[in-house]
Every structure is written in C-alpha cells, then in structure tokens.
Amino acid sequence: MEMMKGLVAYPNGDIMLEEVPVPELGNNPYAPHDVLCEVLYCGICGSDIHKWKADKKGVKTSPKKVVVGHEIVSVVKEVGPAVTRVKPGDRVVHEIVTFYCGHCPNCLEGKFNICNTIPPMEGRAHFMTGGGFAKYTVWPEWQLHILPENISDVEAVLVEPTAGSIHSVISRMGIRAGESVAILGPGARGILMAQVCQAIGAGPIFMSGLERDEAFRLEMAKSMGVDTVINVEKEDLRSIIMEKTNGIGVDNVLENTGSVEPIDESLDIVRKGGKVLWAGGGIRGGIVAPVDTYKIIVKEITVYGEISQIPYDWHTALHLLGTGAVKLKPLVTHVFDLDDWEAGFDLAAASPECLRVAIKP
C-alpha cells in the first residue's frame, strides 16, 4: 500500500501529521465516478484552526479520523471508469458537499448543503473520505470544477470561500444592487463578501474590525473598494452607521466574526425591515450570544444562517473570478509546506498581517 503524509483530525479534536494510505480509485463511495487528484494547495480555513489549539469546549470536531482541509486546488491524476466531466491534467477546485440523500425536502430544492437526513459534517468529503492537507485526495467528478485560466494555482484556494460568500450574499440574503451592506469582520471571507456585494452593484459597503485589523486588513478592504472602514475599538460603529444612513440603518448586515458583541450590534445597525446574517460562529461550531428579541420584533428584522454552498454558488464564483470581478491574489498572504503546517496554523490563528494561508503538500 502506497503511503503519504497527511494532516489528520481525530474525533477528540487532535490534529497531527502522520503517514496515511494514498487513496485509490474504486476503493471509495464515489466509484465509478471517482477522481484521484494531486493537491497543489489547500487553504487553512478558520474552522480548521478552531479544531486545533483553541479551547475546544463546544467546538465541533471530526466525526471520524480523517485527513482534513477543504479549500482545495488540485490537478486531476486519474479518473474512474464512468468519469466524463474531467480528464487527467485538468486543474480543478473542489465543491465540498458530496453526500446528501437526493430526496428530502431540501435536496428536492437543490439545497444539498442542508440535506434533512444527515448531520452537516457527514455531508462533507473532508470529514468522511478525506480532504486536501495531503498530496492526494479522491473526489466525485460532479463536485469538481475546472479553473478559469486567469486564476493561478495558489490563489485558487479561495474559490471555495468565494462560493461561500456568494451563498451568504446572494443565495441566502438576496442582496440587490443599490442596497447598503455592513460587514462585521475584515478577514479574507469578509473582504470576499465585500467584493461579491460590489460585483452585484450593492453599496455603500461598511466594514468593521478591531485595532489589530486596522493597519493591514482594514487597509486592504479599503484598497479593494469598501466605502467606509470602522475600527470599533476607536470609533462607535452604531453612531457612524446611523450618521451615514440618515438615522435609518443599513439594509443588510453580514456578521462574520464569531464574537458575541457583533450579534447585538447587527440588530442595532440594521434598518427596520432589514436583513441580518449571522455566520461567523459557524467556524467554531456556534457561539452562544444573548439576543434582545424586542429589536427583532419591533423592527421586523429577518435573521439568516448559512452553511457551505449550493451548485449555483460555485457556478457564479467561477463566473465572477473568470471575469475579474472578484480578485483573490492579494488575499492569499502566506504559503507553507505541509511539514511546516504548525507554523502556518499559528500564523493563521494569530497574525493580523495574514488573510489566508495556503499549505503546499
């Protein structure tokens, strides 16, 4: 049996680099539509970091021992006998929702990401058959997308978060051209959401961050077209938004921090009849925040959740990236070899100079 190094997650929350078998065509649940892919890069998502060193209380961990990593760009190595969509040599990115029943109420509407019959993690390849923090991974052909030629290998780790941002902005929130948006949290995902908002003509766009974010992340957001950036440790988010919206509030709030205070802020800065998305806590396995239901009731606020993506989001991501409407290159700030994964995770977890770290197996 051929072996390779892989970054393996355990159900108790441990993550370690160890020798694992190279996946084989035919020996997986996707056969005969299975594709063996050689991973070029895999991005470190916030959800990967929280499963590592953080206080694991409440953090959702892998249901089984498995190679993790889901922001994958790879080259097709071999294909199963029934595969027609991709061929060896194709550069591809990996849609992550690979298991769903196909006949529950959500699957019948194409909402495979929230299949009613299985828990979220059991629908994701990187928790079941293995992800991208290894040299090889196996994937079903219908979950692979050929990359536009103008997207380089390393920046393509952000295609999956781009699809996730489209899921939040368009599929869930239905944000329209001309609507104002406040994005709470200036990480790579926040800046991607801002670019998607710009691509569809929404605005003005506000983005908040902390003191540590000001020099790099908020500057990056500004350089990529965010109208107003707000350091919430220096400025009052609520009063600035109210001042710039004539006391009405914004049409939409995208909470992307995973912290408690922005949950409350989102209800204060959204206008009556507006929409709020709470997304940041998902990477931690959820947060518990006190919610003043009076604000939701009297303002008739609509609150959304979101998870992963649906096929539309991937189609749209590749379209917007192919036309250059969304730019990824400035957001991939660091690359580490798989052997140096701990340094990469440390940087991704702690450095304000970092937006997305790519691991090269």
User: How high is the mean pLDDT in each 10-residue block of the chain (361 residues)?
Assistant: 95 92 97 98 87 58 90 98 98 97 97 96 94 98 96 98 98 98 96 98 97 96 96 97 98 94 96 96 79 97 97 98 96 97 93 94 95
At a CB cut-off of 8 Å and minimum separation 6, what does 22 contact?
Answer: 1, 2, 3, 4, 135, 136
- Looking at the structure, do residues 94 and 13 belong to the same domain, yes or no? yes
Residue-level pLDDT at 50 = 66
- Looking at the structure, do residues 215 and 86 belong to the same domain, yes or no? no
Indicate which CATH number applies to the domain containing 349: 3.90.180.10
- Looking at the structure, do residues 187 and 133 belong to the same domain, yes or no? no
Per-residue pLDDT reduced to its tens digit, 95-150: 999 999 999 999 999 999 999 999 999 999 999 999 999 999 999 999 999 999 99
- Looking at the structure, do residues 181 and 277 belong to the same domain, yes or no? yes
- 318 found inside a domain: no
Q: State how far the Cα of 300 lies from the Cα of 298, in Å rounded to an integer.
A: 6
Query: What are the C-alpha distances in Å from 355 to residues 24, 46, 271, 331?
Result: 34, 10, 30, 6
Indicate which CATH number applies to the domain containing 262: 3.40.50.720
Residue 75: count other Cβ atoms within 10 Å of its Cβ: 15
Please give the tally of structural domains in the chain: 2
Residue-level pLDDT at 31 = 97
- Looking at the structure, do residues 197 and 275 belong to the same domain, yes or no? yes
- Looking at the structure, do residues 9 and 146 belong to the same domain, yes or no? yes
- 312 found inside a domain: no
Does the predicted model carry a pTM greater than 0.85? yes
Could you tell me the residue range of the domain that residue 284 belongs to?
A: 164-304
Residue-level pLDDT at 57 = 56
Residue-level pLDDT at 280 = 84
Q: State how far the Cα of 237 lies from the Cα of 232, in Å rounded to an integer.
A: 6
Residue-level pLDDT at 58 = 53
Partners of 336 in beta bridges: 359
Partners of 32 in beta bridges: none
- 156 found inside a domain: no
Q: State how far the Cα of 106 lies from the Cα of 101, in Å rounded to an integer.
A: 10
- 332 found inside a domain: yes
- Looking at the structure, do residues 82 and 52 belong to the same domain, yes or no? yes
- What are residue 229's phi and psi, to 5 degrees? -110, 145
Residue-level pLDDT at 48 = 82
- Looking at the structure, do residues 81 and 179 belong to the same domain, yes or no? no
- 311 found inside a domain: no
- Looking at the structure, do residues 342 and 241 belong to the same domain, yes or no? no
- 91 found inside a domain: yes
DSSP string, 5-20: EEEEE-TTS-EEEEEE
Q: State how far the Cα of 115 lies from the Cα of 97, in Å rounded to an integer.
A: 10
- 322 found inside a domain: no
- Looking at the structure, do residues 183 and 146 belong to the same domain, yes or no? no
DSSP string, 116-139: TTS-GGGGBHHHHT--SSBSEEEE
- Looking at the structure, do residues 111 and 82 belong to the same domain, yes or no? yes
